[in-house]
Amino acid sequence: MSRSDDRNARITRLVRPAVQAVQAYHVPPAQGMVKLDAMENPYPWPGELRDAWLAALADVSANRYPDPTAAALKAQLRRDGGVPDAAGLLLGNGSDELIQLLALALGGEGRVVLAPGPGFAMYRLIAAFTGLEYQEVPLADEDFALDEGAMLAAIARHQPTVIYLAYPNNPTGNAFDAAAMEAVIEAAPGVVVIDEAYEPFCGRTWMSALERYDHLLVMRTVSKMGLAGLRLGYLAGHPDWLAQLEKCRLPYNINVLTQASATFALEHGDRLRAQTDSLRAERERLFEALQVRDGLQQVWPSEANFITFRTQPGRAGGVHASLRENGVLIKNLDGSHPLLSDCLRVTVGTADENARFLVALDAAIG
Ligand SMILES: *Cc1c(COP(=O)(O)O)cnc(C)c1O
Q: Return the closest-CA partner of residue 219 out of 104, 151, 333, 120.
A: 120
Closest Cα to atom 11 of ligand 1: 197
Same domain as 278, residue 258: no
Range of the domain at 322: 17-46+271-365
Ligand 1 pocket mutation pick from 27, 122, 305 by most atoms within 8 angstroms of CB: 122
| SS3 of residue 63 by DSSP | coil
Same domain as 135, residue 89: yes
How high is the pLDDT of residue 141? 82
Using an 8 Å Cβ cutoff, are 34 and 329 in contact?
A: yes
Q: Return the closest-CA partner of residue 292 out of 204, 214, 362, 210.
A: 362
Residue 294 region by backbone torsions, left for phi larger than 0, else alpha for psi between -120 and 50, else beta:
alpha
Asked which of 237, 267, 297 is the last residue of a domain, the reply is: 267
Calpha distance 264→54 (Å, rounded): 10
Q: In this structure, is the dihedral angle defined by the CA atoms of residues 32, 36, 38 and 43, taken in order, positive or negative?
A: positive
Same domain as 307, residue 202: no
Calpha distance 2→345 (Å, rounded): 45
Using an 8 Å Cβ cutoff, are 175 and 168 in contact?
A: yes
Asked which of 267, 282, 309 is the last residue of a domain, the reply is: 267
Residue 351 region by backbone torsions, left for phi larger than 0, else alpha for psi between -120 and 50, else beta:
alpha
pLDDT tens readout for residues 209-227:
999 999 999 999 999 999 9
Closest Cα to atom 14 of ligand 1: 197
Atom of ligand 1 nearest to the CA of 221: 7
Same domain as 338, residue 296: yes
Ligand 1 pocket mutation pick from 90, 224, 347 by most atoms within 8 angstroms of CB: 224
> Does the reported pTM lie above 0.85?
yes
Closest Cα to atom 15 of ligand 1: 170
Atom of ligand 1 nearest to the CA of 166: 13
Closest Cα to atom 12 of ligand 1: 197
As for ligand 1, residues whose beta carbon falls within 6 Å of it are 39, 94-96, 120, 166, 170, 195, 197, 221, 223, 228, 233
Question: Residue 323 is part of a domain; what is its CATH number?
Answer: 3.90.1150.10
Half-sphere exposure of residue 292: CA atoms within 13 angstroms, side-chain side = 6
Q: Return the closest-CA partner of residue 136 out of 337, 288, 347.
A: 337
Closest Cα to atom 2 of ligand 1: 197
How high is the pLDDT of residue 15? 95
Calpha distance 59→81 (Å, rounded): 26
Atom of ligand 1 nearest to the CA of 97: 9
How many domains does the chain fold into? 2
Same domain as 250, residue 165: yes
pLDDT tens string for the chain (366 positions)? 899 999 999 999 999 998 898 887 778 888 899 999 999 999 999 899 999 999 999 999 999 999 999 999 999 999 999 999 999 999 999 999 999 999 999 998 899 999 999 999 999 999 998 989 999 999 998 899 999 999 999 999 999 999 999 999 999 999 999 999 999 999 999 999 999 999 999 999 999 999 999 999 999 999 999 999 999 999 999 999 999 999 999 999 999 999 999 999 999 999 999 999 999 999 999 999 999 999 999 999 999 999 999 999 999 999 999 999 999 999 999 999 999 999 999 999 999 999 999 999 999 998
What lies within 8 Å, CB to CB, of 359 at 6+ separation is 326
Same domain as 255, residue 116: yes
Mean pLDDT in the chain?
Answer: 96
pLDDT tens readout for residues 68-105:
999 999 999 999 999 999 999 999 999 999 999 999 99
Expressed in angstroms and rounded, the spacing between residue 14 Cα and the centre of ligand 1 is 31
Asked which of 267, 299, 331 is the last residue of a domain, the reply is: 267
In a domain, 164, yes or no: yes
What lies within 8 Å, CB to CB, of 160 at 6+ separation is 112, 113, 114, 135, 154, 188, 189, 190
